[in-house]
């Protein structure tokens, strides 16, 4: 089967134009649905690839967890003491140093004016959460590819929880680490040192069954019915079924991931074709023309 690649009428000469052609390249035999432009492209974890994986080795010598500031491994023996530590702060050039985590502060009835309530828990008393790498590191990546940046880590391992930043120099250690390139030279291909073969799909859930159930009825992956077989009642309220409830009773069962009256993850993995039903005009279709 010949590819649907349109004939080139212009010759791309600059790098941006060449990358545009790379991104829109149509491989022979592949339909348009395989092209990146047709991807759903949610990145955490996504349905096609898990882009979080590309950040693991963005700094030479260490491996960080794809969604976290935890150093899970080291490739430079001189940095072995960093295993289990957390990358707290990055600085370079004249840029203001930035932290890799933020404190979750939000509105609360206790302080509606200043909204100063920290969303802390017993396990996370500082209410800290790691920043998403593609936002946190984008500017650094643009400015410092192939160069070093100053990285501050916890002085001791902190495997199981975020650690707050302190200006006390006894609490952290500093290393100069080189920033790896995101792309292969002069291409739109993600650098192979960042993502080896297979790594971009390692973190995927079981697509589509998991996201189909996980995202309830409000999110992109859940283009599915919710409230079906709806009928008005004498009180003026509506009655009907949750599309994911196994037995149609006319009484809506609120979504609950552990309620066995609903189709759960295991049910979808083992027998989605048994449980999922067509809905036409808001009502179940039993395959016999009813509904």
Provide the pLDDT confidence category of residue 203 given band limits of 50, 70 and 90.
Answer: confident
Instruction: Say if residue 45 is preceded by a cis peptide, omega within 30 of 0.
Output: yes
pLDDT tens, residue by residue, 33-72: 777 667 665 555 566 778 888 999 999 999 999 888 999 9
Q: Can you list the positions of beta strands (E) in 104-257?
A: 105-106, 117-118, 128-130, 148-154, 172-178, 227-232, 238-242
Average pLDDT (233-245) is: 92
Q: Which one is predicted more confidently, 156 or 286?
A: 156
pLDDT tens, residue by residue, 116-127: 888 888 888 999
CB 40 within 8 A of CB 220: yes
pLDDT tens, residue by residue, 206-217: 667 777 787 655
Return the closest-CA partner of residue 268 out of 233, 237, 244, 232: 244
pLDDT (0 to 100) of residue 57: 94
% of residues, the chain, pLDDT over 70: 85
Tokens standing for 152?
A: 């501050």
The Cα 187–Cα 25 span in angstroms is: 12
pLDDT (0 to 100) of residue 102: 92
- The pLDDT mean for the chain works out to 84
pLDDT tens, residue by residue, 260-276: 999 998 999 899 999 98
Q: Which one is predicted more confidently, 167 or 204?
A: 167
């Amino acid at each position: 089967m010949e590819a649907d690649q349109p004939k080139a009428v212009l010759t791309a000469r600059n790098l941006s134009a060449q990358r545009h052609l790379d991104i829109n390249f149509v491989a022979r035999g592949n339909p348009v649905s395989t092209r990146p432009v047709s991807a759903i492209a949610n990145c955490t974890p996504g349905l096609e690839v898990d882009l979080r994986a590309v950040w693991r080795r963005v700094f030479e010598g260490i491996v960080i967890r794809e969604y976290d500031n935890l150093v899970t491994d080291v490739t430079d023996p001189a940095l072995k003491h960093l295993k289990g530590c957390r990358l707290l702060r990055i600085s370079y050039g004249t840029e203001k140093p930035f932290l890799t985590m933020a404190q979750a502060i939000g509105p609360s009835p206790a302080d509606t004016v200043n909204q100063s309530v920290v969303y802390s828990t017993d396990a996370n008393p500082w209410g800290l959460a790691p920043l998403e790498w593609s936002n946190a590191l984008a500017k650094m990546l643009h400015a410092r590819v192939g160069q070093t940046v100053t990285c501050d880590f916890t002085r001791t391992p902190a495997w199981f929880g975020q650690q707050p930043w302190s200006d006390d120099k006894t609490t952290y250690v500093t290393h100069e680490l080189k920033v790896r390139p995101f792309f292969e030279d002069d291409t739109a291909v993600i650098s192979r040192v960042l993502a080896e073969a297979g790594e971009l799909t390692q973190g995927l859930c079981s697509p589509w069954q998991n996201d189909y159930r996980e995202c309830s009825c409000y999110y992109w992956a859940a283009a599915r019915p919710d409230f079906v077989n709806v009928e008005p009642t004498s009180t003026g309220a509506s009655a009907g079924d949750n599309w994911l409830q196994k037995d149609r009773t006319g009484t809506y069962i609120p979504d609950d991931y552990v309620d066995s009256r609903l189709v759960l993850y295991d049910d979808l993995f083992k027998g989605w074709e048994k449980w999922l039903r067509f809905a036409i005009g808001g009502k179940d279709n039993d395959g016999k023309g009813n509904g």
